[in-house]
């Protein structure tokens, strides 16, 4: 959270899908560009599991954001034309209310007393921010990864909530492989001797569990093909030798990435957000996904996936595109030939930039948004 972070403090209770409620809550967000006079140029980005609201730099906070090449003046999401909003998810720990926030009733962190979080709750809280900003309808709703789930939930809750929709490496439900990965990540954290049913503290942090959960995450976020070219069988010499320690560069890469993560994210937030993804199935209570999305009033949609993504494999994006087409939305679909796996949208700008840019140019033309 920096000078660029803005906050919505709601004193209205937020009722959770699975029961329970927050008596009051805060949502952290950042914005870029200017909302136009008729409030028709807003782009809302709902993030993946771990990012903060800081998607891009700005004069107020010049540090690079997690989607730096995508957002800015002249960038694919061009802030000379669009008013861009990026939220920190409900349940996260980067300014929005989550299990690490203070429970007003106890004046201690919520931890396991936080209500059971669903993707639908993330969508509900996100919409409150849009209302708070006085925006009746988004120009474009954007969701990569977990954001591909929470944006679908947003559209189900607000069928006229956006005119255009960009879903990147998302899914309309969790499949067993991704559930298995996340379940093992959670098991790693709760098996750490410092977990103590959520009563860890800064001095007794579930470091091992967080470290290994992050490594497992990396295994599912990247691709074998990328690592083959990037690391091959090169030996590592960064970390000292240990009995059954690291031998190869791929191991030291994962170790370094995991160490950066351990203290950057709250373990409880991680568990709550991770589980919310497992639970998500947009078609719950409907015969199929098209029926579940019936009534959604989009002018256009663009669904993107990556052929090496093993966590949210391309057939899941194809399913979203098919369902939107079926309900009459003009829908484009691209399966990008990137070797960067699920994380491609974060790191493979060469493949994503031009496609996202072209989609936003079409949106500008269709909505007659000037330069």
Q: Does 219 bind a second copy (CB under 8 A)?
A: yes
Residues 128-167 that bind a second copy (CB under 8 A): none
Active site residue 169: no
Site string for a second copy, 84-113 (x = CB under 8 A): ----------------------------x-
Catalytic-labelled residue, pool 309, 334, 343, 351: 309
Q: Does 237 bind a second copy (CB under 8 A)?
A: no
Q: Does 224 bind a second copy (CB under 8 A)?
A: yes
- C-beta of 39 vs 208, nearer to a second copy: 208
Closest approach of Cβ 207 to a second copy, in Å?
A: 10
- C-beta of 32 vs 280, nearer to a second copy: 280
Q: Does 246 bind a second copy (CB under 8 A)?
A: yes
Longest dimension (CA), the chain: 65
Closest approach of Cβ 49 to a second copy, in Å?
A: 15
- C-beta of 183 vs 299, nearer to a second copy: 183
Active site residue 101: no
Site string for a second copy, 263-292 (x = CB under 8 A): --------x---x--xx-x-----------
Q: Does 190 bind a second copy (CB under 8 A)?
A: yes
- C-beta of 111 vs 164, nearer to a second copy: 111
Q: Does 247 bind a second copy (CB under 8 A)?
A: yes
- C-beta of 71 vs 250, nearer to a second copy: 250
Catalytic-labelled residue, pool 174, 342, 343, 351: 342
What pairing do the DSSP bridges indicate for beta strands 83-87 and 162-168?
unpaired
Closest approach of Cβ 200 to a second copy, in Å?
A: 14
Burial of 257 (0-12, 13-18, 19+ CB in 10 A): middle
- 3-class DSSP string for the chain: CCCCCEEEEECCCEECCCCCEECCEEEEEEEECCCCCCCCCEEEECCCCCCCCCCCCCCCCCCCCCCHHHEECCCCEECCCCEEEEECCCCCCCCCCCCCCEECCCCEECHHHCCCCCHHHHHHHHHHHHHHCCCCCEEEEEEECHHHHHHHHHHHHCCCCEEEEEEECCCCECCHHHHHHHHHHHHHHHCCCCCHHHCCECCECCHHHHHHHHHHHHHHHCCHHHHHHHCCCCECCCCCCCCCCCCEHHHHHHHHHHHHHHCCCCHHHHHHHHHHHHHCECCCCCCCHHHHHCCCCCCEEEEEEECCCCCCCHHHHHHHHHHHHHCCCEEEEEEECCCCHHHHHHHCHHHHHHHHHHHHHHHHHHHCCCC
The span of 51-59, 93-101, 249-257, 342-350 binding a second copy (CB under 8 A) equals 249-257
362 contacts 354 by C-beta, under 8 angstroms: no
Closest approach of Cβ 275 to a second copy, in Å?
A: 7
Q: Does 212 bind a second copy (CB under 8 A)?
A: yes
Active site residue 281: no
- C-beta of 1 vs 179, nearer to a second copy: 179
Please tell me the distance from the alpha carbon of residue 198 to that of residue 200, in angstroms, as a whole number: 6
Q: Which residues bind a second copy (CB under 8 A)?
A: 112, 173-181, 183-184, 186-188, 190-191, 193, 197, 208, 212, 215-216, 218-219, 223-224, 227-228, 230-233, 243-244, 246-251, 254, 271, 275, 278-279, 281, 310, 313
Active-site residue set:
145, 309, 342
């Amino acid at each position: 959270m920096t000078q660029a972070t803005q906050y919505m403090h709601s004193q209205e209770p937020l009722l959770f899908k699975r029961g329970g409620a927050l008596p009051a809550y805060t949502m952290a967000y950042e914005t870029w560009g200017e909302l136009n006079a008729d409030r028709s140029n807003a782009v809302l980005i709902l993030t993946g599991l771990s990012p903060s609201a800081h998607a891009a730099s700005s004069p107020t906070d010049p540090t690079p954001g997690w989607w730096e090449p995508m957002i800015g003046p002249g960038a694919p999401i061009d802030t000379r034309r669009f008013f861009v909003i990026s939220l920190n998810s409900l349940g996260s720990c980067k300014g929005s209310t989550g299990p690490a926030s203070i429970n007003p009733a106890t004046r201690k962190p919520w931890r396991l007393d936080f209500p059971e979080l669903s993707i639908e709750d993330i969508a509900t809280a996100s919409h409150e921010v849009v209302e708070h900003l006085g925006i009746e309808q988004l120009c474009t709703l954007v969701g990569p990864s977990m954001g591909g789930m929470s944006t679908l939930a947003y559209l189900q809750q607000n069928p006229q909530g956006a005119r255009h929709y960009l879903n990147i490496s998302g899914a309309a439900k969790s499949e067993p492989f991704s559930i298995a990965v996340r379940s093992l990540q959670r098991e790693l954290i709760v098996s750490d001797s410092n977990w103590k049913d959520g009563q860890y503290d800064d001095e007794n942090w579930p470091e091992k569990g967080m470290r290994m959960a992050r490594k497992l995450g990396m295994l599912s976020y990247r691709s074998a093909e990328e690592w083959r070219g990037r690391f091959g069988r090169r030996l590592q010499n960064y970390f000292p030798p240990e009995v059954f320690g690291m031998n190869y560069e791929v191991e030291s890469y994962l170790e370094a990435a995991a160490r950066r993560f351990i203290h950057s994210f709250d373990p409880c937030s991680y568990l709550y957000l991770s589980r919310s993804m497992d639970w998500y199935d947009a078609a719950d209570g409907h015969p199929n996904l098209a029926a579940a999305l019936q009534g959604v009033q989009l002018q256009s949609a663009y669904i993107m996936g990556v052929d090496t993504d093993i966590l949210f494999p391309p057939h899941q994006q194809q399913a979203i595109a098919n369902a939107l087409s079926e309900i009459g939305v003009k829908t484009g679909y691209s399966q990008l030939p990137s070797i960067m796996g699920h994380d491609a949208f974060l790191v493979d700008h060469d493949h994503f930039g031009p496609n996202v840019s072209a989609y936003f140019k079409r949106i500008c033309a269709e909505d007659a948004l000037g330069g």
